[in-house]
Amino acid sequence: MAALVFTVVSWGYLGIGGRAAVLLALTACALVLPRPLRRRRLTATAEAAAAVGLGLVLLDCYATRAAGPAGLDAVNTSGYWAVVTALVAGGASAYGWGQRLRFPLGAGFLLMRLPVPLALLAAGVSHVQAYAAALVGAAALDCALLWRVETLVGDGADADHGGPHRFLRRAAAGFALAWALVGGGLAVLGSMTADQPGEAAWAFGPLGTLALLGLLASVRYPALPYVARRLAAAGAGAALLMAAGGTLRQLLSPVWTPVAFGVPAAVLLVVAAVLLRRRGGQPAAPTGLFHVAALALLTSFLAAVPDLARAVLEPPAHAPETWAGTPAHAWAWHVPGAALTGLGLLAIALAAVMALRVTTEPVAVLEAATATAAVTTLALLPASLGLPYGVAVASALLLAAFAAAAVAIGPPRPAAAAALVVAPGLALLWASADRAASITALGVCAALGAVVTWRTVATLELPRVAPTAAAGTVLALGAEAAAVGTTLGLSLPATMLVVLAVAAASAPVAAFGPGRPVSAEAVQHSVSLSLEFTGYALAAVALLLTAPYPGRLAFALAVAGVAALAIALRPDRRAAAAVTATGLLIGSSWVRLALWDVDTPEAYTLTLACAALVVGHLRHRREPAASSWATYGPGLSIAMTPSVLVLWTDGYWLRPLLLGTAALTVTVLGVRFRLRSLLLLGGTALVLTAFHELAPTVAQVLGLLPRWLPLAVAGLLLLVLGATYEQRLRDARRLRDGLRRLR
């Protein structure tokens, strides 16, 4: 404190020599003080004194340059500080090691990074790779120091120098990672901004060094945790990929940039897979390389996805004008070679990984992904080479045929099943741009689907493929019928009738399939269900598209109803098919009646009422104890309610006569068979009909009588009821009990 006070007070009165002497004296005191402080176990105070001493050393260097003795003020600033930081870094490291102090060690450790960048700056170097190399060299120095510290610890030196060694170990690891990230980032930046392949190749220096350091850390440093060693290997792989990809990028056009990075990624992926296959298990270095290569390859593929999607969807974009009957315009199918190459790289890499079997992913998923990528690549290849449109569609159909043969003949493989889905899908998608191509493709796909269905059912292989193939066959035949009808110039309703015929034909095919062994019954059942319900869906679509044409809709509904009646011959489909057939036939009759301008409600309700009564009667026979409200109630309500409502607005005599007769008949049947719903519904309808018919006459008669006579009759009735009140109550209870005994 005395020295500081003396310095502050007398600083303004001192000359250059005096000030230099004071600073040197203070610096010497600060650097000498830590040893006695450590002997007295004042470690924190010793660290503070050492920090002050190092700060004063840097201040002395600054003051020396500012004073300019021997022309130092004319020396290049960066060069001067490069020399100063090098000397101070070496001195601080030696001082901290000798005094067993952490702060001087850390300060010297940090200052060691400054001389080289400052020297490059002083020399006027502007190439970013030089600075990247300097930072990577600092990271290498940290790694060497870390290895040395670990060696000393392994030799037992940590017993005497536990504090400095632990500090150096942590500092070296942290700063090595920091310098590696910054240096690698600068190297990548220089590679990506380079204009010539030679400039980009300079990145191999720092990035190659980083890759070597990462691999050494992953392989030769088992003290690191497994995850850390995997990350180190992944970083090494990323450095190699960025260096190689940045150089290849300069040799290709900009659109091929994803491929420039995808090629080394695919190579590294295969190499890592081979290493994993040889060593077995999951060693850190190959696993890290494998994962970073897979990520890079996937990123390269994702960059090509938009171009691939546009190429795949280009033909169907012209389908509307093709099928609308308007003159089609000429169009060019452009498939970018870069995008297709990226997809091909992915397919090759996946095939290699699948062959080596080095991943924990399910084999089925890997095979399906490989087949999808490979089939898409091969199918797009003719268009990419500029071959005609028909060749591309034919190649997709040829791939579909190969896939069908692989499924039908070869052993069951998920790759074949995936190819069987992708290849026909692409063929049909692309063929939609031309009518002739569509008809051909649909016919081929239907034939292939039938063959695959037959073989998979016969051999019991790939049981999940059989229902899908069966459904696809029905859909292809339906689409084929629609395409042929449209091409022949048929109207939409006529075309939909053809589609409906295909849908109707699927039901008997599903019911009377080929002979099969007992063990194949489950597969055959699933195929039958797939055929049947796909046909139902096809029929529903045909009916919906026929809806704008009522005349054809009535006929189509009738055809569908007859087909449903045929399906009702099957014992397992009898109930549902009978109800469906009834609904379709009733709907057909309603549409036809509407076309004839029939507005009589009974014409619409009687058919539905008859169907409901038949269903209710069948249930009554099966369940004699069932309530008549559940069996006959719905049918009678549908039959009588509309007629009773229309009765009050109809002045014609025929409706009341027929309704009264029917209501009387229903009431008598209800009494005869003791059915409550028939008795009440028929009686209610009969009373309402009688009231409707007698009301005008009664009103006319009452108008002729004196006004006091109705009141007198009403009073007389009240007297009679009052006199026989108990008897009337007993009659009401007997009536209630009688109704309750009815079903």
**Residue of 62 and 702 predicted with greater confidence:** 62
SS3 annotation, 589-608: HHHHHHHCCCCCHHHHHHHH
Q: What is the pLDDT of residue 22?
A: 67
Q: What is the pLDDT of residue 326?
A: 67
Distance CA 145, CA 117 (A): 20
Residue 112 has pLDDT above 80, yes or no: no
191-195, 446-450, 529-533: segment of lowest average pLDDT? 191-195
What's the average model confidence in pLDDT over 251-273? 90
Contact 161, 100 (CB under 8 A): yes
198 band by pLDDT with thresholds 50, 70 and 90: low
Helix/strand/coil percent split, the chain, to 5: 85, 0, 15
């009387």: which residue's tokens?
Answer: 664
Residue 243 has pLDDT above 70, yes or no: yes
Contact 127, 202 (CB under 8 A): yes
DSSP assignment of 169-236 equals HHHHHHHHHHHHHHHHHHHHHHHHT-SSHHHHHTTHHHHHHHHHHHHHHHHH-TTS-HHHHHHHHHHH
Q: What is the pLDDT of residue 103?
A: 77
Distance CA 633, CA 626 (A): 12
What's the average model confidence in pLDDT over 225-235? 86
pLDDT (tens digit, 9 = 90+) per residue, 417-467? Answer: 899 999 999 999 999 999 999 999 999 999 999 998 888 777 666 667 788
- Which amino acid is located at 35 in the chain? R
pTM score over 0.85:
no
Q: What is the pLDDT of residue 330?
A: 67
What's the average model confidence in pLDDT over 51-65? 76
Distance CA 102, CA 92 (A): 10
- DSSP secondary structure letter of residue 742: -
Tokens of 625: 């104890």
Residue 156 has pLDDT above 50, yes or no: no
What's the average model confidence in pLDDT over 100-104? 77
What's the average model confidence in pLDDT over 516-526? 58
**Residue 701 DSSP SS3:** helix
pLDDT (tens digit, 9 = 90+) per residue, 372-412? Answer: 999 999 999 999 998 999 999 999 999 999 999 988 887 77
Q: What is the pLDDT of residue 508?
A: 80
Q: What is the pLDDT of residue 67?
A: 67
What's the average model confidence in pLDDT over 172-201? 71
Distance CA 322, CA 209 (A): 60
pLDDT (tens digit, 9 = 90+) per residue, 609-653? Answer: 888 888 888 878 888 877 788 788 888 888 888 888 888 777 677
What's the average model confidence in pLDDT over 15-40? 72
DSSP assignment of 223-252 equals TS-HHHHHHHHHHHHHHHHHHHHHHHHHHS
